[in-house]
């Protein structure tokens, strides 16, 4: 009797270059995937930031038995190096019983980036009854690309001054950050007032802060 060829369970036995990864789905516990494979990543500049903000696209595959429920788009695969790959599209290849996901890694190049801290004002009344802010860290050690975008001349006390506007590309989506009473402090002590925080409406781009540089503090203040 001739054996019938059945490729549905041979992915992890015939595929080279398998690695263990973690699947992160919003609102669920992380799932360990023991037998994942990725194709060569194609890298390109993702933003006009002198090549500092880059994206890499690849395809990840793994046995469907290791995550029986289809991960929703926007879920993340974290590889052994700690890189985060956002799932943009996913198919169930029934014949091979595996998931095949098109993924994108959006990152700020470590060799040229800066670490920033997002702080929120906490107000207390002074002896004179004025609300005086102190600043508490909401998120520390966030990788970012800080770049000037415009200069807006203003007239103040008969002298022309210039406020420098910046665009700050963040590697993490700070979805829990409120819109008011925030500032960003970079690793050199520069302080930026947050004017706008644009959460991406697409899952394949990084969030961006529009900010104005308002001063300097001693690092660690």
Q: What is the pLDDT of residues 143-168, one digit of tens each?
A: 888 888 865 555 555 545 556 899 88
Please indicate, yes or no, whether residues 178 and 125 belong to a single structural domain of this protein: yes
CA distance 102 to 117: 32
pLDDT at 112: 38
Query: Does residue 110 register a pLDDT over 50?
Result: no
Distance CA 86, CA 115 (A): 22
| pLDDT for the residue 133 | 84
User: 104 and 54, same structural domain?
Assistant: yes
Q: How far apart are CA 120 and CA 181, in angstroms?
A: 6
Full residue range of the structural domain in which residue 121 is found: 114-216
Residue 118 shares a structural domain with residue 212: yes
The CATH number of residue 205's host domain is 2.40.10.270
The predicted pLDDT at position 29 comes to 93
Are both 129 and 99 inside the same structural domain? no
The residue length of the chain stands at: 221
Q: For residues 46-57, give the mean pLDDT.
A: 56
Q: What is the mean pLDDT of residues 10-32?
A: 80
pLDDT of residue 111: 40
Most confident of 34-43, 137-146, 166-175: 137-146
Residue 102 sits in the same domain as residue 19: yes
Q: Are residues 40 and 122 in the same domain?
A: no
Residue 208 is predicted with a pLDDT of 85
* Cα gap 211→101, rounded to integer Å: 35
pLDDT tens digits, 186-214: 988 999 998 888 776 677 777 888 899 98
Higher pLDDT, 114 or 62: 62
Based on the domain organization, do 24 and 59 belong to the same domain?
yes
Both tokens of residue 78? Answer: 């974290």
Q: Are 135 and 183 in contact (CB under 8 A)?
A: yes
Only one residue has tokens 């095949």, namely: 100
**Under a CB-based contact definition with an 8 Å cutoff, are residues 111 and 77 in contact?**
no
Number of compact structural domains in the chain: 2
């Amino acid at each position: 009797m001739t054996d019938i060829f059945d490729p549905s369970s041979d992915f992890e036995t015939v595929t080279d270059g398998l690695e263990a990864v973690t699947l992160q789905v919003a609102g669920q516990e992380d799932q360990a995937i023991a037998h994942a494979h990725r194709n060569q990543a194609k890298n390109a500049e993702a933003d006009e930031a002198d090549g500092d903000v880059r994206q890499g696209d690849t395809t990840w595959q793994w046995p469907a038995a290791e995550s029986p429920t289809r991960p929703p788009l926007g879920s993340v695969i974290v590889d052994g190096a700690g890189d985060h790959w956002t799932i943009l599209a996913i198919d169930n290849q029934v014949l091979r019983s595996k998931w095949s996901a098109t993924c994108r890694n959006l990152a700020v190049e470590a060799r040229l980036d800066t670490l920033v801290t997002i702080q929120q004002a906490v107000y207390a009344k002074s002896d004179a009854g004025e609300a005086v802010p102190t600043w508490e860290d909401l998120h520390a050690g966030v990788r970012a690309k800080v770049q000037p975008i415009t200069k807006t001349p203003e007239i103040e006390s008969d002298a022309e001054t210039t406020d420098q506007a910046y665009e700050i590309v963040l590697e993490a989506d700070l979805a829990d950050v409120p819109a008011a009473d925030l500032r960003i402090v970079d690793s050199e002590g520069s302080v930026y007032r947050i004017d706008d925080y644009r959460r991406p409406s697409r899952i394949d781009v990084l969030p961006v802060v529009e900010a104005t540089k308002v001063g300097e503090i001693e690092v660690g203040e």
